[in-house]
Amino acid sequence: MSVQPNSIHLNEYNIDFDKLNRVIRTVDNNNFGKVKFEAMEIDQNAGFISTSTFKIWTNQVTDSIYNIIHCHINDMSDSVPVATETLGPNETIEDYKEFQTDSAGQVLRYKILIQNNQILTVLYNSGASIEEIPFQENKFSLDEPMMQAKLTDVFGDEPIIVEVGKIPNSMTCAHDKKELEDTQLETVEHEPLSHCTNRYFERLPGYIDVKMVSADNCNSIYSSEYKFSIPVCACEPIDDYQKTMILSMKQFQQEQSLKNVRDTVEELCVLVEVYPTLKITTLEEMKEQFTKIKTAEEKINQLLDSETESQAQELLDQAKEATTKSGKILRGMAAEMRMMNMKAST
290 within 8 A of 334, measured Cβ to Cβ: yes
Tell me what the pLDDT averaged over the chain comes to.
86
Burial label for 10, CB within 10 Å (0-12, 13-18, 19+), is exposed
**291 is a domain residue:** yes
Number of domains in the chain: 3
**79 is a domain residue:** yes
pLDDT tens track for 10-62: 888 999 999 888 899 999 999 899 999 988 766 666 677 777 899 999 999 99
Q: Are residues 337 and 203 in the same domain?
A: no
Q: How many Å apart are CA 332 and CA 327, to the nearest integer?
A: 9
Q: Are residues 22 and 118 in the same domain?
A: no
Q: In the β-sheet with 110-114, what is the strand arrangement from edge to edge?
A: 82-86, 110-114, 119-125, 130-132
Lowest-pLDDT choice from 70-74, 144-148, 309-313, 329-333: 309-313
Region 223-232: mean pLDDT is 92
pLDDT tens track for 228-256: 999 999 999 999 999 898 888 877 777 77
Q: Are residues 86 and 126 in the same domain?
A: yes
Longest distance between any two alpha carbons in the chain, whole Å: 117
Binned at pLDDT 50, 70 and 90, residue 119 comes out as very high
**212 is a domain residue:** no
Q: How many Å apart are CA 150 and CA 193, to the nearest integer?
A: 12
Parallel, antiparallel, or unpaired: how do β-strands 110-114 and 82-86 relate? parallel
Q: Are residues 288 and 313 in the same domain?
A: yes
Cis peptide before 5 (omega within 30 of 0): yes
Query: Could you tell me the residue range of the domain that residue 13 belongs to?
Result: 1-39
pLDDT tens track for 269-321: 888 888 888 888 788 888 888 888 888 877 777 666 544 444 566 667 777 77
* Contacts for 170 with CB less than 8 Å, ≥ 6 apart: 67, 68, 69, 70, 185, 186, 203, 204, 206
Question: Is 0.85 surpassed by the pTM of this model?
Answer: no
Cα angle, residue 281 at apex, residues 279 and 284 outer, rounded to 5°? 115
